[in-house]
Structures are given as structure tokens and as C-alpha cells.
Structure 1
Amino acid sequence: MKTTGTFFLKKDNLQLGIVLGLVLPLVIFLIIYGVRFNDASLPDFVKTFATQKSLITFFGVWCLVANIALFTYYVNTQKDKTAKGIFAMTLLYGIAILLAKVLI
């Protein structure tokens, strides 16, 4: 039975990094919402989130930290193409967070 290289997270490609870099922050957002802010409905919370800079900062930091941790894992396991995709998405998230804070 072949066990090495069959799990998709062990692959090294740019598309995987982009997908992981996009999905992980969304998962972190939903986890934090579910644990800390579950008293409000998700649509109401999103409206509040979009108007409060402190919430943008709070969620942005945790989402970026999660991507940085994932990036570090893939760099340390020599999966450089995947790490490159995660890094690109981390930069885009960072820019989006800065723009959201400036424009709101």
C-alpha cells in the first residue's frame, strides 16, 4: 500500500498554496465567530464587522497569523511552490485589511 505522497496537502504546487492561503483565513474567521461572537447571527455580525475597525484588526491579525504559520510549515518541509502561493495570498489579505481599515 502506497502511503507517501497520496495526501493532497503533501503535494508541492502553486495552486494548492493559493487555495490554502484563501481558505484558511475564512476557516479561522468562522471559528472565531463561532467561539466568541455566536450571540449575533452571521449576517448581523458581518454588518457590524464591516463598520468597526477594531474587529477588522482583530480578525485580520488572527487570519494572517494562521497563514504565516501555514507558510512556515510548508517552507520548513521544502514545499516551496505551495509556500509561494500561501505567501501571495497572505500579502493580498494584508493589503485588503489595510485598505479596509483606511476606507472604513
Structure 2
Amino acid sequence: MIFKKDNFVLGLILGILAPVLGILLFKMYKFSVFTFEETFQFMVVEPGFRTLTVALSLSLLLNALLFTIYINTGKDQTAKGIFATTLVYGLIV
């Protein structure tokens, strides 16, 4: 199972994929009637990028969940990878 591995690269991969999944879930919940193209066009064109910032911030909660799981199970290398990508996403937001 994927949760049993402990390496930095796995953490990076999980740290990149979890926020993408979070953004997709946010799109499905908040903008379900619009296509992906219309949703992301709105997020980029909107003054102040408020919706995009909210979507990215909420999507980082999945990283926090994964980080907590890996820290509590003693998988420190994977947790470091997740934390590194979270920092990069946080700086972007």
C-alpha cells in the first residue's frame, strides 16, 4: 500500500497531487454547472483572484491531512516531501 512507503519523492508526488485533487473537488462543489475551462477562466479573470486564492488555500488542507498521517505513522521522509510542496504552494498563494 502507498502509505507504507517512506521516501522524499513519494512525498513530493503526494504533495503535488493532493492540492490538484482539492482544486477539482472545489470546482465540483462550487462551480458544478460550469465547465473546467469556464471555471478556471473566471478564477484568473476575477479581480483580486479571490476565488483562486480560496480554492488553493482549501486544497492545501489535503496536504495538511496527508502530512499529519505520515508524521503520526513515523514516515518522516514522505512527510518532508509533503511539507516541501506545501511550502511552495503556500508561497504561490
TM-score calculated relative to the size of structure 1: 0.81
Displacement after TM superposition at 1:57 (Å): 2.2
Structure ranking higher on relative contact order (CA contacts 8 Å, 6+ apart): 2
Q: % of aligned pairs identical?
A: 36
Unaligned runs of 5+ in 1: 1-6, 98-104
Distance in 1 between residues matched to 2:3 and 2:71, nearest whole Å: 13
Deviation track 1:9-47 (CA, whole Å, cap 9, x = no partner) reads 210001110000000100111111112201111111111
Higher helix share: 2
Deviations 1:37-87 (A, max 9, x none): 011111111111113321122112211221112111111110000000000
Count of matched residue positions in the alignment of Structure 1 and Structure 2: 91
Tell me which moved more, 52-61 or 37-46. Answer: 52-61
Q: Identify the range of structure 1 (63-72 vs 81-90) with the bigger mean alpha-carbon deviation.
A: 63-72
The RMSD of aligned alpha carbons is 1.1
Q: Which aligned runs of 4 or more in structure 1 are off by greater than 6 angstroms?
A: none
Does residue 8 in structure 1 map to residue 9 in structure 2?
no
